[in-house]
Structure 1
């Protein structure tokens, strides 16, 4: 009989164990220990768990309250189990722990994300009544051997990075207030207050200022684009947004080229982006720039155990 225990993450030692499991089990791995620690501070009601088998960490999970002010009472969650320990009920044990905490938060269900390539996870969720609510296309651009793109902002537009320019944040927030609600999804993310937006979209350790590009018309911020620093030579595209009145002028594509150039200069090997299936314009832009599809991500919602 194996000795199995589930502990709530309380300190950096247990959090490092959590991060090591996720880094080994996740499709992309953990961006950084510092980023996970930051998320624990800003995400409401978040709890992280480590599952140990004979004292060795082999599973990890988290659950937190959903963002926004309303919508479905469904907590956001994640479960990871090291490959050699799957199909032995360990994920279900973590699922029960997540369900108990979510129930205490007044939630009625859980939301998980799984990749098309994770057949076991898809089968697990389907067998427990989870239904697909959204699907995202994953695309990758290999940077090795790619010519350095020429970055030419449209006439009247200048680009700068956010490094040392906190004065640009109010203008960037105004872009977010238009760009995020316009995403073609059934339930667009809530932008929240300026402080909430800054905490989630700007101040995370992976959102470094030198890889945040801002489009200016004079002193007005008309668009911006953020790259997330990941591990293993990978960087992820975060939001690329342009104000409604300035769309259709090539600002988004020029920002994308600035990101590619910035990633190459920073030594990254791959750029990964995620687009909702219905966002045809940005998907077309990415394809034109040479991004190639990967197995996509699916968002599921279902009942508590």
Structure 2
């Protein structure tokens, strides 16, 4: 008779199994093993599990408190089972395990994402009392299909990279403190302290300094944009943010065009971004630049499961 066993990820061998499962079960997979290792140590209280079925890793999960210093009762979690092993109760086994850990952390709810195309995952969460609280529309730009963009910042605006100006991080943080709360989606994580923002949004292994563009008016940071390096010729947009008083001047457009140009020069084939439903300015910008919607990521919030 087949047997299953849940293993807490404590070393690289177990983490490689975790990454293999997520790569097989998730739409985009894991950007890099190094990034997965980094994220494990980013949030105190985070635990990752691998579920082995007859000795083979077929399921993965994690749970952590909300980021940014939030003390709220809602944590962040993820559950994956590779397609050939679904509908056997393995996802529920992992969900029970992370729920028990969440209780020990003092959490009462969890926020879990599922892609619109993953009908089984959506139905699973809805049956357990999870409700949709937001959507992120995913869009793709096929770089071979678009010409090299001209990067013409508005009058008085200069673009530099983090590699060129590593001294601008505190100014970028002030942009984040205005831009992130204005994103119209209900998320558990908050901006938090400068140190938390730096660790989460700037210093992950996939956030490279030469792909981080900063908009300056004189000596003042008024906007920035980050690109995450993925695998297989794919890169992912992270935040494109502009301070409120400088919006509507074309700064976000110039930052994004600089990223597209840099990605084409570096040999990337595809750029992927997510836009919250209701964030009309950035959605209009992406549409004008040739990004096309492919699916939505649905953010669910719901209760912990009962004891096993």
Would the TM-score normalized by the shorter structure come out above 0.5? Answer: yes
Q: Does 1:178 align with 2:178?
A: yes
Q: Tell me, in whole angstroms, the C-alpha distance in 1 between the residues paired with 2:40 and 2:189.
A: 19
> Where does the alignment leave 5 or more consecutive residues of structure 1 unmatched?
none
Contact 1:151 1:257 in 2 (8 A): yes
> Where does the alignment leave 5 or more consecutive residues of structure 2 unmatched?
none
Q: Tell me, in whole angstroms, the C-alpha distance in 1 between the residues paired with 2:192 and 2:70.
A: 12
For the residue of structure 1 that corresponds to 2:129, the secondary structure is coil
Task: Indicate the larger mover: 203-212 or 182-191.
Answer: 182-191
Contact 1:63 1:75 in 2 (8 A): yes
For the residue of structure 2 that corresponds to 1:37, the secondary structure is helix
Offset at residue 145 of structure 1 (A): 3.0
How is 1:144-293 mapped onto 2 (pairs within 5 angstroms)?
Answer: 144-186=144-186, 189-293=189-293
Q: Where does residue 22 of structure 2 map in the other structure?
A: 22
Pairwise CA RMSD of aligned residues?
1.3
Contact 2:110 2:301 in 1 (8 A): yes
Matched positions, count = 305
For the residue of structure 1 that corresponds to 2:78, the secondary structure is strand
Q: Tell me, in whole angstroms, the C-alpha distance in 1 between the residues paired with 2:49 and 2:188.
A: 28
Deviations 1:208-235 (A, max 9, x none): 0010001111221111000011112111
Q: Where does residue 37 of structure 1 map in the other structure?
A: 37
Contact 2:227 2:238 in 1 (8 A): yes
**Residues 188/304 of structure 1: CA separation in 2 closer, same or farther (3 Å cut):** closer
Offset at residue 43 of structure 1 (A): 1.4
The normalised TM-score by structure 2 is 0.96
Contact 1:140 1:271 in 2 (8 A): yes
Q: Tell me, in whole angstroms, the C-alpha distance in 2 between the residues paired with 1:90 and 1:233.
A: 33
Contact 1:139 1:293 in 2 (8 A): yes
The normalised TM-score by structure 1 is 0.97
For the residue of structure 2 that corresponds to 1:45, the secondary structure is coil
Q: Tell me, in whole angstroms, the C-alpha distance in 1 between the residues paired with 2:281 and 2:189.
A: 19
Q: Where does residue 134 of structure 1 map in the other structure?
A: 134
How is 1:71-110 mapped onto 2 (pairs within 5 angstroms)?
Answer: 72-110=72-110
Offset at residue 67 of structure 1 (A): 2.1
Contact 1:29 1:231 in 2 (8 A): no
Task: Indicate the larger mover: 160-169 or 25-34.
Answer: 160-169
Q: Where does residue 50 of structure 2 map in the other structure?
A: 50
Contact 1:140 1:293 in 2 (8 A): yes
